[in-house]
Structure 1
C-alpha cells in the first residue's frame, strides 16, 4: 500500500487542475534534502509528471513544477533523467527565449543545473521555429545563440520585464567544460561575426550582480583549457580578453607600479578612476587568477603576459589582499612568470588541476546545485 505522501505525488497526473495544484502546493517542501527521494516513487513517475506540468498554461503550475525540478537536480539520478530528455530541454530553452514568459528566470536556473550532464551538448544542435516576433529580436535560429542574446541584451529587463537572465552565466560556464562549448565561445559565429566570449567580458565588473560576474568569470576560465588557442585569443583585438581578466583584480590604490610598467599595461588599466575597486568577492578574484594561470601554460602566452605588466599587478594584489587562496594563486603565477625560460621543451605542468583529456572536470564548488526556496 502506498503511503499518504506517495498518494500525494500520484495526484500530479490527476486530470483535475485543482487537484494537481493542491499536490504541488504540498510537495514543494519535500523537494530538497532526503525527502526528495519521494519523487522516485513508481519508477520516477512524479518527475515525468512535473515535466508535463511545466508545459501547462498556468503561471503558478509552471512556476511550482519548475521550482521542484530545480531542487530535484541535487539528486544525480533525477537530474540525469531530466537532462537526458532532450525534447524537454529544447522546450525549456524555447520558453526561456519567449520574451513574455513570467517564469524565464527560474527556467534559467533549471537549465544551468541540467548543464552538469554531458547530454547538455545537444543544445548546440537545437534550432527554434521561425516567428515574426522572435525573428525581429534574434538574428539566429540556433537556440544557443538566442540564449546568448538574451543574456547580453536582457540584463536590464529590456527584453523581458520579468527576467534578467543572470543564471544563464552558470549555464555558459558549464557548457564551456566541453570542447564543443569552448569552441563556440572563442570562434566567430556566422550570424553576427562575433566571438561569444567577447560579449560576456563587459560583465566581469557588473558589481550589482554577483551571479552574473561569477558565471562569466567561470565561463572565461573554462574556455581557456585548450592551450593551443591561447596565443590567438590573446592577440585577437576583437576579443580583447586580458583587460577584462585584470580589471576585477585591480584597485586604483595599487600605488607601487612604476612608470615603465604602467606604460606597458593594457590601455584600459593605465588611467583607472579613483573609485576603482577590486571585485569584493574573493572567490571571483580566484577564478580570474586561475584564468591567468592557465594562460601561463605556453611560452608565447607567458611572454605576452610579461609584456603587459601582469606581474606588477599580481604583486600589488598579493600585497594588499590577505586571503590564503589568493596568496597561493599569486605565488603560482609569479613562479610561472618570473622563473627563467628553458631553451627548449614545454612547461612541465598544467597549472590548474581540473583539466583532463578534451573536457574539464568540475571541482567541488562547480558541483553545487542551485535550489529555490
Structure 2
C-alpha cells in the first residue's frame, strides 16, 4: 500500500487539473531534504510528470514543478533523469532564451543545478530556432551565445521584464569546470568576434548583486585552469582580464606614486571612496585567480611589472580574515621569490600549493 505522500505524488499525473494543483501545492515543501525520496515512488514516475507539467501554459503549475525539479537536483539519480533527457534540456534552454517567459529566472536556477553533471556539456552543441522577434535580439542561434546575451544584456530587466538572469552566472561557473566549457569562454566567437569571458568582466564590481559577482568570479577562476590561455587573456587589449580581477580587491588606501604608476591604468588614481568587494569569500576567489596566473614564470614577471604585490600588501593590511591572509601570503611568496636562471628552469612551473586551488560551483 502506498503511503499518503506517495499517493499524493501519484496524483501528479491525474487527468484532473484541480487534483494536480492540490498535489503540487502540497509537494513543494517535500522536495528538499530526506523527504524528497518520496519522488522516487513508482520508479521515479514523478520526474516525468514534473517535466511535463513544467511545459504547461499555466504559470503556477510551471513555477511549482520547476521549483520541485530544481530542489530534486540534490539527488544524483533524479538529477540524471532530468539532465540526460536531451529533449527536455533543449526545452529548458529555449524557454530561458524566450524573452517573454515570466518563469525564466526559476528555470535558470534549474539549469544551474543540472550543471553539476557532465551531460550538461550537450548545451554547448544546442542551437535554437529563433522566431522573428528573437532574430532581432540574438545574432547567433547557438544556445550558449544566446544565454550569454541574456545574461549580459538582460541584467537590468530591459530584455525580459520578468527576469534578470543573475543565476546564469552560476551556470557559467559550473560549465567552466569542464574543458569544453572553458574552451567556449576563452575562444573568440564567430557571431560577434568577442571572447565570451571578456563580456563577464564588468560584473566583478556589481556590488548590488552578490550572485552575479560570485558566479562571474568563479567563471574567471575556472577559465584560468587553461594555463595556455593566460598570456592572451592578460595581454590582449580586447580581453584585458587583470584589472577586473584586481579592482574588487583594491580599496581606498593611498599608494606611493612610484608604485601606483606601475599598476594597470584602470588601477591608477582610484577615488578615495573606492570600495573593495564586501564579501571576503569573493575576494578569495579573485586571489586564487591571481595564484593561477602565477603558474608560469612569464605571468609572474608580468604581475611583478604591474605592481600587483602592492595591492596584495594593502589588502593584507586592511582585511582581517584568515583565508584572505593565507592567500595573500601565498601570493607574496610567488611574487617576491627569486626566480631560477632561465637556462636551469626545467622546473615544475606549477607550485605544489596551487594544486589546492580547485574549480568551484
Q: Give TM-score, length-normalised by structure 1.
A: 0.94
Q: Is the 1:294–1:350 contact (alpha carbons within 8 Å) kept by the matching residues of 2?
A: no
Q: Is the 2:295–2:350 contact (alpha carbons within 8 Å) kept by the matching residues of 1?
A: no
- Equivalence map 1:1-373=2 (5 Å): 1-252=1-252, 254-255=253-254, 257-343=255-341, 344-346=345-347, 347-349=349-351, 351-353=353-355, 362=360, 366=361
Q: Is the 2:221–2:359 contact (alpha carbons within 8 Å) kept by the matching residues of 1?
A: no
- Could you tell me how far apart the structure 1 residues matched to 2:104 and 2:303 are? 40
C-alpha distance after superposition, 1:142-184 (max 9, x if no partner): 0110000000000000000000000000000011111111111
Q: Is the 1:293–1:351 contact (alpha carbons within 8 Å) kept by the matching residues of 2?
A: no
Q: How many residues align?
A: 357
Q: Is the 1:54–1:62 contact (alpha carbons within 8 Å) kept by the matching residues of 2?
A: yes
Q: Is the 1:297–1:350 contact (alpha carbons within 8 Å) kept by the matching residues of 2?
A: no
Query: How far 1:351 moved relative to its partner?
Result: 4.2
C-alpha distance after superposition, 1:348-372 (max 9, x if no partner): 52543367xxxx655xxx3xxxxxx
- Could you tell me how far apart the structure 2 residues matched to 1:13 and 1:342 are? 69
Instruction: Report the 3-state secondary structure (helix = DSSP H, G, I; strand = E; otherwise coil) of the residue aligned with 1:120.
Output: helix
The 1:203/1:342 distance shift into structure 2, 3 A limit, reads: same
- Could you tell me how far apart the structure 2 residues matched to 1:135 and 1:262 are? 46
Q: Is the 1:297–1:351 contact (alpha carbons within 8 Å) kept by the matching residues of 2?
A: no
- Could you tell me how far apart the structure 1 residues matched to 2:65 and 2:167 are? 18
Q: Is the 2:173–2:218 contact (alpha carbons within 8 Å) kept by the matching residues of 1?
A: yes
C-alpha distance after superposition, 1:238-265 (max 9, x if no partner): 001000000000112x22x321211111
- Could you tell me how far apart the structure 2 residues matched to 1:222 and 1:55 are? 33
- Could you tell me how far apart the structure 1 residues matched to 2:356 and 2:261 are? 35
Consecutive aligned runs of 4 or more in structure 1 exceeding 6 Å deviation: none
The 1:14/1:352 distance shift into structure 2, 3 A limit, reads: farther
Instruction: Report the 3-state secondary structure (helix = DSSP H, G, I; strand = E; otherwise coil) of the residue aligned with 1:352.
Output: helix
- Could you tell me how far apart the structure 2 residues matched to 1:73 and 1:84 are? 12
Instruction: Report the 3-state secondary structure (helix = DSSP H, G, I; strand = E; otherwise coil) of the residue aligned with 1:57.
Output: coil
Instruction: Return 5+ residue gaps in structure 1 as ranges.
Output: 367-373
Query: How far 1:227 moved relative to its partner?
Result: 1.1
- Could you tell me how far apart the structure 1 residues matched to 2:19 and 2:108 are? 27
- Could you tell me how far apart the structure 2 residues matched to 1:353 and 1:30 are? 39
Query: How far 1:89 moved relative to its partner?
Result: 1.1
Q: Is the 1:318–1:327 contact (alpha carbons within 8 Å) kept by the matching residues of 2?
A: yes
- Corresponding residue for residue 369 of structure 1: none
Q: Which of the pair has the greater relative contact order for Cα pairs under 8 Å at 6+ separation? A: 1
Instruction: Return 5+ residue gaps in structure 2 as ranges.
Output: none
Q: Is the 2:102–2:162 contact (alpha carbons within 8 Å) kept by the matching residues of 1?
A: yes
Query: How far 1:345 moved relative to its partner?
Result: 2.4
Q: Give TM-score, length-normalised by structure 2.
A: 0.97
Q: Is the 1:97–1:150 contact (alpha carbons within 8 Å) kept by the matching residues of 2?
A: yes
Query: How far 1:226 moved relative to its partner?
Result: 1.3
Q: Is the 1:285–1:326 contact (alpha carbons within 8 Å) kept by the matching residues of 2?
A: yes
Q: Is the 1:294–1:351 contact (alpha carbons within 8 Å) kept by the matching residues of 2?
A: no
